[in-house]
Amino acid sequence: MTSEARGPLLYAYRPIPANPMTVAVLLIGLVVTFVIGPVAAGPEGLWPLGGLCFVPLALVLGAMAVFKPSPTFVFENGIEISLPLWRRILGQRRYYPWSEIRDVYPRSYEVAGSFLSPFASSAGTLVHTGIGLETNDGGRLLVRFTPGSIRAFRAESRGYLEAMLVIRHRFAQRQMPMVTTAKTFSDSQVLEMQAQAREPLVPITGVFLAFFLPPSIVAAILIALSVARLELSALILVVALALATLPPAASMVRTLRQSDRRNEILSELAKYQEHLRERAEAIRPPSEIAGVDLKQG
């Protein structure tokens, strides 16, 4: 689509090349590969194993390149959403005219990989606010604004605030609603949904059980082998490790599912609140709304 059809550029957002969780994994890989590896395994001749020790680090760097996001551009007549490199290579669509969008609202999303943390099960995963887009044919899109540093479990980044302000101003100028299909909730329903969103994803007792049980499983298997006077074979070791990973894996899967459910609740509430905000501003004088926008900017 030509730039004339898109209209003037209103806002541009260039996301960070990799989310904080990926950067954390990269740092761990660097320390293990170039510090711990040579010191601990070097004297035994187990480093660098003909370059094999560098494979995990190469995989992380490759994943960062494949998932590197593109910029997000807000135009007068549409929006070009950010996509990772692999989706751009496949030719997936990036630009959507506003005429094809029926709902624009704040939408919660989880920072990729944060559900792997045992603390996420009780305290909640790292949730940030992006812009949710729903197309006329029912498609759902998400524009992410993940900050470079995480300072809170739930946050609205500067990029999100600026982009949303620009989009709201654009729709207000044209007297067009941003949300057309919001569900209506009573005050009691809103309070109930907020209470559900604040609940721990998994009980803390379950978290401790899931992440402290694996050593006990391995120890029990070793004791059983000793009592039965059986040798520890590679097959038995693999089975023991597989059984030991089941509790934390189950906890992380449940955490992810509960996090998705909570994000849906938060997004529905945000969509409804966006609808209420528009309805409230519709009855206010235009000069008063413009004054508020100037103060926010």
Tens of pLDDT along 71-93? Answer: 999 999 999 999 999 999 999 99
Q: Which amino acid is at 263?
A: N
Task: Tell me the β-bridge partners of 230.
Answer: none
Residue 161: what pLDDT? 93
Alpha-carbon distance 9 to 13, whole Å?
11
Number of H helices, E strands in the chain: 10, 8
Residue 88: what pLDDT? 95
Structure tokens at 251: 């906890």
Through-space distance between the first and last CA atoms of the chain, rounded to whole angstroms: 30
What 8-state DSSP symbol labels residue 116? G
Q: How confident is the model at residue 47 (pLDDT cuts 50, 70, 90)?
A: confident
Instruction: Quick: pLDDT tens for 232-290.
Output: 777 887 888 888 888 888 887 887 788 888 889 989 999 999 999 988 887 555 555 44
Those residues with Cβ within 8 angstroms of residue 293's Cβ, 6 or more apart along the chain or in another chain: 165, 168, 169, 172
H-helix segments, 19-115? 20-31, 55-66, 85-89
Residue 289: what pLDDT? 45
| Mean predicted lDDT score pLDDT of the chain | 84
Alpha-carbon distance 50 to 28, whole Å?
21
CA angle 228, 233, 234 (to 5 degrees): 150
Mean pLDDT of 115-126: 53
Mean pLDDT of 108-125: 59
